[in-house]
Amino acid sequence: MKRRILVVGLGLIGGSLARAFNRLGFEIHAFDVNQKSVEMAIKDGTVKEKIEDLEDVEDEYAFSFICVPVLESIGILEKLSSKIKKGIITDVGSTKAQICQFAIQKGISNFIGGHPMAGTEKIGYEHSSDTLFKGAYYFVTPTDINSRNDVEKLKELITSIGCRVEEIDYSLHDAITGVISHLPHVVSAGLVNMLSESSIFCKFAGGGFKDITRISSSSPRMWADISFSNKEVLIDLVDKYIDLLTNFKLNLEENRYSEVYSYFERAKLIRDRIVSDEQK
């Protein structure tokens, strides 16, 4: 198998993968409905060849990365799996249950789910970087139909661009990302949407507010897709968050200072531990 990689979708993640793999000497071919992104990548030397139509894809890629919104991923996988039989197909979606279950049902044994825990609030190829994944966790979610050899090949490739690979069950993955990624985006958007009540709130929104709501500048299309793709997990988490805020509100109403103090104290202890673990 030639050292060729196909990237479908040259946004922030797809573009950054293309740059990182190109730096390692892989020949990158790419497809994107936004042809300007591919043309930019060809011009800067990241992409060798533009794919005009996925129906024309040949079975010549060691790895193929699906880097499109999660609700589009299954359709892309269906197309690619009819063309690519030898190489490994993977994706970068923030939810894994739907696409992994689809692969199992269709017997697509060369598909292995993946998800890099990396990114910024910026979108588009112009913001991509070959160092985006350095030190980042990258989930790999193999199933029983995958060969162990293919799984190890994918993990080795991902490790080569500086990622810390975590192999995990796809259902557990969706539960984890629901807590640490999907719910925070919902909460962040809610805080920002509260500012729409008055322009004066926007005027005085300072550093702390901007820090906690930075992720709300991410793609609305991507996060709407993710919300529906991880619907059941997210609904349960939203209910739990509402319960948490309701209890906080009740403690304020009842003047329970110690309970309110504990609310913030627990958060500080957990947050400090997270930051401490990152620095090790």
Encoding tokens for residue 22? 């190109």
CA distance 171 to 242: 23
Confidence band, pLDDT 50/70/90 cuts, at residue 2: low
pLDDT tens-place string over residues 254-275: 999 999 999 999 999 999 998 8
CA distance 192 to 74: 32
Give the HSE-up count for residue 134: Cα atoms under 13 Å, Cβ half-sphere.
6
The fold of 4-167 is Rossmann fold (3.40.50)
pLDDT tens-place string over residues 218-257: 889 889 999 999 999 999 999 999 999 999 999 999 999 9
SS3 219: coil
Mean confidence (pLDDT) of the chain:
92
CA distance 139 to 177: 10
Confirm whether 4-167 and 173-278 share one CATH topology: no
**Are 88 and 110 spatial neighbours (Cβ–Cβ below 8 Å)?**
yes
CATH superfamily of 173-278: 6-phosphogluconate dehydrogenase C-terminal like domain (1.10.3660.10)
Encoding tokens for residue 116? 């890099």
Examine the pLDDT at 129 and tell me if it is beyond 60: yes
Q: What are the residue boundaries of the structural domains of the chain, listed by start?
A: 4-167, 173-278
CA distance 236 to 248: 19
Examine the pLDDT at 217 and tell me if it is beyond 90: no
Least confident of 51-55, 108-112, 209-213: 209-213
